[in-house]
Structure 1
Amino acid sequence: MADLKLSQLPDRTPVKLTITISPELHRSLIDYAAVYNEAYGQAESLTELVPHMLTAFLSSDRAFAKARERLGKSAK
């Protein structure tokens, strides 16, 4: 086996998740997409934005990161 500097890439197989959200949250997400379009001049669908929004939220939650460490899990 080669001793490569780059470790084996993690599983990148997308996982489909279906959720139900409130009408208020849906309107907020539509508004966020509109503000995103204004900010960057590029329209993105909610299905493209939401995974990145969730990633940003989880990445910035220090209490979650500490609790996850206690569980012996880490982001991979």
Structure 2
Amino acid sequence: MTKLKLGPIIDDKPVKVTIELPAQLHRDLVAYAAALGREQGQTIGDPTKLIVPMLERFIATDRGSARAHRDSGQHAPRAAAHGG
């Protein structure tokens, strides 16, 4: 089995953001949540909870983002406690 990039999902107080996802992206998110749940031995009841750790992981591992932060004098982002 392929090791997925996300780890366990940590419950934290969110900031509400409303977005629309293309139907295919939502289906992919649901499928990813099911695979992650099997891998982690947990049930992910709401696949949209994956969006935040996915974005955190993407930003933390994106070299261009790290370079932009370094060039602007800001600290580079790092993955939160989501297994990143």
TM-score by length of 1: 0.70
Question: Which contiguous aligned blocks of 4+ residues in structure 1 show a shift greater than 6 angstroms?
Answer: none
Greater fraction of residues in helix: 1
Q: CA deviation at 1:72?
A: 3.6
Counterpart AA for 2:25: L
- The one-character-per-residue Cα deviations of 1:15-61 (angstroms, maximum 9, x if unpaired) are 21111110110010000001001101111222322111111111110
Q: What runs of 5+ residues in structure 2 fail to find an aligned partner?
A: 1-11, 79-84
Show the counterpart of 1:20: 20
Q: CA deviation at 1:69?
A: 2.6
Counterpart AA for 1:66: R
SS in structure 1 at match of 2:39: helix
Q: CA deviation at 1:13?
A: 6.5
Show the counterpart of 2:69: 68
Q: Could you say which structure has the larger radius of gyration?
A: 1
Alignment root-mean-square deviation, CA: 2.1
The size of the alignment, in residue pairs, is 65
Show the counterpart of 1:47: 48
Counterpart AA for 1:38: R
Q: What is the percentage of aligned positions where both structures have the same residue? A: 37
Q: CA deviation at 1:70?
A: 2.4
Show the counterpart of 1:7: none
Distance in 2 between the 1:39 and 1:47 partners? Answer: 18
SS in structure 2 at match of 1:51: helix
Q: What runs of 5+ residues in structure 1 fail to find an aligned partner?
A: 1-11
